Amino acid sequence: MTAPERSRLARERLSRELRRLRTEAKMTGTATARATGMSQSKLSKIENGMLLPSVTDVERLVAELSATRETKAELVELARQLHAEAETRRVVLHRGAHRHQQTVARIEARATTSRFFQNAGVPSLLQSENYLRVVLNSTPSHEQDTAIGTLRSRRARMDDLGKRFVFLLAESALRWRMGSADLMCEQIDHLVQLMRRPNVQLGVVPWSVDANMVAPHGFQVYDERVVTLTVLTGNATITDPHDVREYLALFGRLERLALRGDELEELLDQISRDHRKLG
């Protein structure tokens, strides 16, 4: 049974037990709601599993409905566990480049292994200065310098040989034109230099490979604890262990398709030549 299924069954049990207690106490919904300081509509949603009650709500209900000591303790603890799971599964959306850079910087500082996948554009840690400024072009000017400063601090952590950085790019990420041929070729040269660092691994999934899977967006996985990803209106942080394992599994499948070493350098050289042809 998966974690979401267990959570669903636990919520159903909590609502069912609260409804049973009220029925056995021979109290109406209106009377129970009034006695516990909540609306009748809220109580109805709790009993029908449409609303997860707070721990305080459950404490008031089990006290008013004269539950046994064992039942009180069991249902209050169940509510605590469900709220802890709900908080873990919460996806936090951050708006603004600077705020996202700060959040990621804190996560990266604690991580031993950082994994990055991108299918459109180059990950920020691998961007050349000129490429970065194009990426930040739509960011308000008063945020750009701060975002660049935070990113430089993040990049400095790549000098720590106790940390490992694994980058996977779809070939499309390097063919996605962010500017002139000179800018794109400079960016590819920058990648070649970075991939020679002992704690940096770079792989590219060529367009010609039979991937037989869908990778709908780029993402980053820090150790086995946190996933971050960028959406149109902000940047999301995911900490649910089940979700993190799903992203790690996808990263592993993509990693097996990637070119490395001499084959990768040949591909990068070909992409540079193609950018030059386009001018």
Q: In this predicted structure, what is the pLDDT of residue 229?
A: 87
Alpha-carbon Rg of the chain, whole angstroms? 26
For 93, residues 6+ apart whose C-beta sits below 8 A from its C-beta are 231, 233, 234, 235, 236
Nearest Cα to 15, choosing from 59, 54, 48? 48
CA distance 85 to 8: 11
In the sheet with 226-231, reading across from the earlier edge strand, the strands are: 92-94, 234-238, 226-231, 219-222, 113-118, 164-170, 200-205
CA distance 114 to 103: 14
Nearest Cα to 257, choosing from 220, 218, 209? 209
Q: In this predicted structure, what is the pLDDT of residue 62?
A: 94
For 237, residues 6+ apart whose C-beta sits below 8 A from its C-beta are 91, 92, 94, 103, 107, 226, 227, 228
Query: Taking a C-beta distance cutoff of 8 angstroms, is the pair 11, 54 a contact?
Result: no
SS3 sequence, 139-150? CCHHHHHHHHHH
Q: What stretches in the chain show pLDDT beneath 50? A: none
Cβ atoms within 10 Å, residue 264: 19
DSSP SS3 for 48:
coil
Q: In this predicted structure, what is the pLDDT of residue 144?
A: 78
pLDDT tens, 41-74? Answer: 999 999 998 898 999 999 999 999 999 999 999 9
Q: In this predicted structure, what is the pLDDT of residue 214?
A: 87
Q: In this predicted structure, what is the pLDDT of residue 230?
A: 80
CA distance 35 to 275: 72
CA distance 104 to 62: 42
Classify each residue of 42-66 as buried b or exposed e, where b means 16 or more C-beta atoms within 10 Å of its C-beta: bbebbbebebbbeeebbbbbbebbe
pTM equals 0.67
